[in-house]
């Protein structure tokens, strides 16, 4: 196993001692890291020293394992995005200086600058969309909770009305 100390994916805390991820068993911890480094599930299973069928089962059925893998992938992408945006700034500065000095920018460098700037722009748009989605999810959850409370209140009211009807003396007797 390689050293992960530089990796933003390590969520060590005092309860997990060392590099264990949020309480997952050591074998699953190793498997998660191996999935990030390996070109295939089979290679990841070999690297993590777990059976390939076991790893595939975790990927299909183990919700905690799946959730941690999603979190790790999100954190990885976030880290990469930040670094690429920083590089895009540097590339733009360099291109601006070259243009100001009337220097020719060779095609390979121009392509790299264009790609970095495009990525920075798109990642910002994706971040905005993700924020909107989170806001909508929160609003839907709040609305569902409110509807649930209303349904519970309505059920309680109907129950109370039923009890009141049963205990009320009948008229005309």
- Which is higher by pLDDT, 90 or 168? 90
> Tell me: the pLDDT tens digits for 8-67?
444 433 334 444 555 778 899 999 999 999 999 999 999 999 999 999 999 999 999 999
- Nearest residue to 103 (alpha-carbon basis) of 111, 91, 95: 95
CA–CA gap between residue 25 and residue 65 (Å, rounded): 10
Question: Which two structure tokens, joined as six digits, stand for 147?
Answer: 């509807």
- Among 34-43, 47-56, 104-113, 138-147, the least confident range: 104-113
Which pTM value belongs to this model?
0.53
Asked if residue 50 lies in contact with residue 56, where contact means CB atoms within 8 angstroms, the answer is no
């Amino acid at each position: 196993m390689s050293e992960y100390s530089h990796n933003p994916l390590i969520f060590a805390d005092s309860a997990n001692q060392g590099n264990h991820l949020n309480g997952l068993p050591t074998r699953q911890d190793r498997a998660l890291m191996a999935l990030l480094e390996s070109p295939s599930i089979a290679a990841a299973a070999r690297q993590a020293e777990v059976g390939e069928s076991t790893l595939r089962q975790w990927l299909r059925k183990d919700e905690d394992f799946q959730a941690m893998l999603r979190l790790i992938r999100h954190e990885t992408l976030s880290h990469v995005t930040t670094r690429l945006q920083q590089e895009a700034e540097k590339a733009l500065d360099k291109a601006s200086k070259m243009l100001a000095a009337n220097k020719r920018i060779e095609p390979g460098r121009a392509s790299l600058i264009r790609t970095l700037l495009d990525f920075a722009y798109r990642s910002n748009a994706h971040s905005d969309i993700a924020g909107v989605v989170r806001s909508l999810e929160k609003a839907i959850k709040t609305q569902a909770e409110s509807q649930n409370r209303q349904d519970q209140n309505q059920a309680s009211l109907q129950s109370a009305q039923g009890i009141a009807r049963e205990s009320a003396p009948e008229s005309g007797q």
